[in-house]
């Protein structure tokens, strides 16, 4: 299982970003699976969370 970050609702409170488990997909023939170890949140992400 992996963790997924999502925006369940817009707003400025701490519940505007959520975390949930996500099943790691199995790549099909001709596809690859890329492991992501870190991530970042930028200003555009904050604006989307606020509904702007």
Whether the model pTM is above 0.75: no
> How many domains would you assign to the chain?
1
DSSP 37-52: ------HHHHHHHTT-
**Domain that includes residue 30, residue range:** 2-49
Q: What is the pLDDT along the chain (52 residues), one digit of tens a residue?
A: 888 888 777 766 666 778 899 999 999 999 999 988 887 777 887 777 777 7
**How high is the pLDDT of residue 3?**
85
- The predicted structure's pLDDT at residue 23: 93
Give the pLDDT confidence score for residue 15 in this predicted structure. 65
CA pair distance 41, 3, nearest whole angstrom = 15
Burial tier of 40 (Cβ tally within 10 Å: 0-12, 13-18, 19+): exposed
């Amino acid at each position: 299982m992996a963790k997924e970050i999502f925006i369940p609702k817009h707003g400025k409170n701490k519940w505007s970003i959520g975390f949930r488990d996500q099943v790691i997909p199995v790549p099909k023939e001709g596809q690859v699976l890329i492991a992501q170890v870190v991530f970042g949140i930028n200003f555009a992400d904050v604006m989307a969370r606020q509904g702007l």
